[in-house]
Chain A
């Protein structure tokens, strides 16, 4: 990780009595926040959404699946802050629970895809030769499918539902990570300390895990954050098309399906709030990801 040397005068004195390691993390976080106000804003959004998703059982005022036919398409009020949908379900509760679905799908896809991409990318770069050639060929083919097209094709085969959606979004993300990781791993392979490690008689596993993987962490983390946002957006699109998460699981994209357009003129809140939740969350992840990229990759700063 390359973060420019901190300006010691700017570190608040409170940090002085914190133990060394924690202080360096706090210091880095502080520097990040000060240098990247937009990124910090994004991080705050992400944290709020994450808290909402994690504590949905306690903070949601109603059950996300409870119908109340006495209160259908009600406008926002004190009883229902964000109004109710055409089945009388509380929108706020559904959005809070939807955060959980979005984050589960977003993080599962991002983590699985980027770890798989890391393994393939580093492995391909390290071993090189035929393996690299064939693997790149296969990854190129998968890359030829635009994300949503690949995801739809996978859904066409395995069907809908949370697990299948995760598979459908993860597959097209893998080569996108593998390619980036491979290109930075290739340059690390040529660095003398890898030869030195080999000369010391270290095994492949040790060289890969101890010497190569830590050095591709910067692009890896940047991609991981970007993937979370992309996956949430893809899940929302699939669910909106009726080919993603299925009722009664609360999901933002699903909330916009059906009722949103039908009641557009009489109950616009059905259409507005779930979309706002998607946009804000992805916005938060993008801002945070951008800031992370600037912080981790100084070459790209000021662009």
Chain B
């Protein structure tokens, strides 16, 4: 087991260094000179010296390889430089927006599993019945519905319902309050984005639960359990579901990708000042240091999530380690 863990953890390093190299190269592919773009963006005039000073400030006058080493070293120390847009440290900007994104992500996972596991199980139990068909359609529709549209529909519904109920339209608050300070306000802000992202994420889990459940239900030990006269709900909950949920764990990695994609657009819809919104803004503002840092952080989070998922799975299912 320890050998497997170490091997798996060591594999993270080349992937992260490769990702860093890719991000680094991509950001150097930008047509034209960043400094010219930056100095010229205000519409003012500038001379050659200003460009050179800017190069020196960003370290662009140094050899490419050293720049890369600096970039990776900075990443490991948590130093991502300063935002080219706001002038504040990148880490400071990110830290301010992190809690809300994290909270939405966690709630979305909860929502997703609350929808997916019961429906997936039901779908498998009633295979090929109208219920199964409806649940499968719900699941495919979840994958097909763009999360920003779902968010807009939520807003439409909130506006109309609140208009009808209170006589004046109500919108969820947009300034973040920690949950321990004002739980109600916090939840009213986070719940709709979480539902939006969660529904989409649930689609994948629902399908996986269904197919894993179908497989498990055909196992001999389920037949044995039935033969010895166990109550059906014990067979389903204790014998089947427990084993069927094993492969569902591996989906957390895929869910993470869905969550990140969902957050990027959903925060925009609900006007929430989170990481996803910061990312979109940094792309719009051509804030390359910020974009670079955010891409790197997201990739690192994604790679680490997948590694942890692999480790958990190996721990849950000993066959993997010898595979």
Chain A interfacial positions (CB closer than 8 Å to B): 38, 137-138, 140-142, 144-149, 152-158, 229, 233, 236-237, 240-243, 253, 256, 260-261, 264-265, 268, 271-272, 274-275, 278-283, 285-287, 290, 302-303
Contacts and interface: CB of A to CB of B under 8 A. Distances in A.
Given A229-B144, A279-B145, A302 B214 contact: yes
A264 B156 contact: yes
A261 B155 contact: yes
B152 A271 contact: yes
Given A137-B14, A237-B146, A302-B214, A279 B141 contact: yes
A233 B18 CA distance: 28
Interface residues of B, number: 59
Interface string B113-146: 0000000000000010000010011001101111
Q: Which of B148, B156, B211, B214 has the most CB of A within 10 A?
A: B148
A145 B295 contact: yes
A280 B149 CA distance: 12
Nearest to B23: A153
A152 B152 contact: no
A193 B211 CA distance: 34
Nearest to B256: A146
Contacts of A148: 260-261, 264-265
A183 to B, nearest CB: 14
B226 to A, nearest CB: 20
Given A137-B14, A146-B260, A272-B153, A237 B148 contact: yes
A138 B265 contact: no
Contact of B288 (A146, A156, A264, A303): A156
B105 to A, nearest CB: 13
Given A148-B264, A240-B148, A265-B159, A282 B143 contact: yes
Contacts of A229: 143-144
Contacts of B298: 145-146, 149
Given A145-B299, A156-B286, A240-B148, A286 B265 contact: no
Interface in B274-323: 279-280, 282-284, 286, 288, 291, 295, 298-299, 302-303
Nearest to A282: B144
Contacts, number: 155
Interface stretch (B24-32, B47-55, B82-90, B179-187): B24-32
Given A146-B260, A265-B159, 8 more contacts: A141-B18, A149-B264, A152-B279, A153-B26, A157-B31, A237-B265, A240-B268, A271-B153
B143 A243 contact: no
A264 B302 contact: no
Contacts of B153: 271-272, 275
B39 interface: no
Interface string B198-220: 00000000000011001100000
Given A140-B18, A141-B19, A256 B152 contact: yes
A260 B152 contact: yes
A38 B141 CA distance: 13
A264 B286 contact: no
13 contacts: A141-B15, A142-B22, A145-B295, A145-B298, A152-B279, A152-B283, A153-B295, A241-B268, A264-B156, A272-B153, A278-B146, A278-B149, A279-B149
